[in-house]
Chains A and B, each alone.
Chain A
């Protein structure tokens, strides 16, 4: 057993976590203002933005992957712009996979944050405005600290969802070791070459980590709710 584990190539697994970490950080920064805006606005474009945000949940990863592959490659103006201006290629490398992951996991960051913000007592936010605080300051000092369960859920689920990404990475990144060959892609290849032992080990590791991550989220949320709902009178 130990021999099997020590002989295994851990590169793809580490790459998965690196990708998930970077994606989660980028998404948190991008999704925070979007989720805050969606929770506060009464604008008519809100449903449109919400629908676009939720698209990655319902679209097959191959569809997202296909469009991104097209958009980021030199077949599209975006790909041409990055290639000519910065000399960066956006497909079949790590950068491309990060961009693809951000699209793929966007709803998992936005939706918990948005519903967290919507559950906040409106009077509390107004009390902050009355105290002379701007919307941004209210977001950072009042709204965000009071939606900790939603915040933890958003971050962890985004991370876990990105670790579990397969189709989009395969389409946009292919399977380049050290660049785009993440754990899920590696498992697929193990099965293709009938290396069931490695596939088993990899799958088991993914399963155990995912379970532990989700379990800790739910335990945290239960404890938090007890602490802050318990004293209400």
Chain B
């Protein structure tokens, strides 16, 4: 069990914001942490790691990492941390990167085998692709035998195919080592696939907390489809209005009435939903 109750004042782009989080996380859980940028996700992760100081309590399996009196330095907390930019040591080979954390050769061999990196173990990080680097970073984090694995958008710099492969490896490592994990992610499919609990942060507070299906599926009532989008343009065509809306990378046209056209503004975030027909999948 990991108990987190921390507060920290953040100076962001929108002024002062208070991070105020009270959470209990079960051992072996895989928690996805999501929310808009600037909502405090990275700060929460860094505070748990001891890389930043926040007020409050962090307790891991009855071991106090932080309370009013004590503050366990980052070196003493049993954590693994995976950065978005890999943060490998360029002067060391892949194997040396792993052994730098812990001299356990058996564990390093096992991790490299699980992630298909055995053949690359004597290479320097700069000769590897992004996906390979992130696998090394993942292995390096596991070398610490962490009680808590923290990942800050680990896959967001990778292409979709590589993401899928790494998601599988993360899942495999989680099943093998059963490490309690908190991962920051913006990708709903990734969150759905990996996590058994999703926490949504907004302006430093927990806004939503539950399983992925309940949190991420945005449809409500009888709606079949529901997407977040942004209005790019509203065009008058004869007597009707057409809104051009960007949903992800896709643009769609939606017919709207003249009264709706008055209420909606270009640049506004909207939810586009439909319920009238049965979708077909090809």
Contacts and interface: CB of A to CB of B under 8 A. Distances in A.
Contacts of A128: 89, 100
A127 B74 contact: no
A122 B100 CA distance: 17
Given A129-B74, A130-B80, A142 B89 contact: yes
A121 B100 CA distance: 18
A126 B140 contact: no
B88 interface: yes
A124 B87 CA distance: 5
Contact of B75 (A121, A133, A228): A133
B144 A132 contact: yes
B79 interface: yes
B144 A130 contact: yes
B241 interface: no
Contacts of B249: none
Contacts of B141: 130
Contact of B74 (A130, A231, A233): A130
B225 interface: no
Interface string B9-53: 000000000000000000000000000000000000000010100
Interface in A124-153: 124, 126-134, 141-142, 145-146
Nearest to B144: A131
Contacts of A123: 83, 85, 87
Contacts of B250: none
A181 B88 CA distance: 50
Interface in A72-89: none
Interface string A96-140: 000000000000000000000000010110111111111000000
B81 A126 contact: yes
Nearest to B126: A231
B184 to A, nearest CB: 14
Contacts of A126: 49, 51, 74, 81, 83, 87
Interface of A, secondary structure class, is helix
A224 to B, nearest CB: 11
A146 B90 contact: yes
Given A130-B49, A131-B144, A124 B89 contact: yes
Interface string A25-62: 00000000000000000000000000000000000000
Contacts, number: 62
Interface residues of B, number: 26
B92 to A, nearest CB: 8
Interface string B188-203: 0000000000000000
B91 interface: yes
B127 interface: yes
Contacts of B80: 130
B129 interface: yes
Contact of A228 (B79, B81, B88, B126): B126
Contacts of B79: 130
B205 to A, nearest CB: 26
A134 to B, nearest CB: 7
Contacts of B130: 233
A1 to B, nearest CB: 47
B101 interface: yes
A127 B100 CA distance: 10
Nearest to B98: A131
Contact of A129 (B51, B88, B90, B126): B51
B22 to A, nearest CB: 25
Contacts of A230: 126
Contacts of A129: 51, 74-75
A233 B81 contact: no
Which residue of A127, A130, A141, A232 has the most chain B CB atoms within 10 A of its CB atom?
A130
Interface of A: 121, 123-124, 126-134, 141-142, 145-146, 228, 230-233
Closest 8 CB pairs of A and B: A123-B87, A145-B91, A131-B101, A123-B83, A231-B126, A127-B87, A124-B87, A129-B74
23 contacts: A121-B85, A121-B87, A123-B83, A123-B85, A123-B87, A124-B87, A124-B88, A126-B49, A126-B51, A126-B74, A127-B81, A127-B83, A127-B89, A129-B74, A130-B51, A130-B74, A130-B144, A131-B101, A131-B140, A133-B75, A230-B126, A231-B127, A233-B130
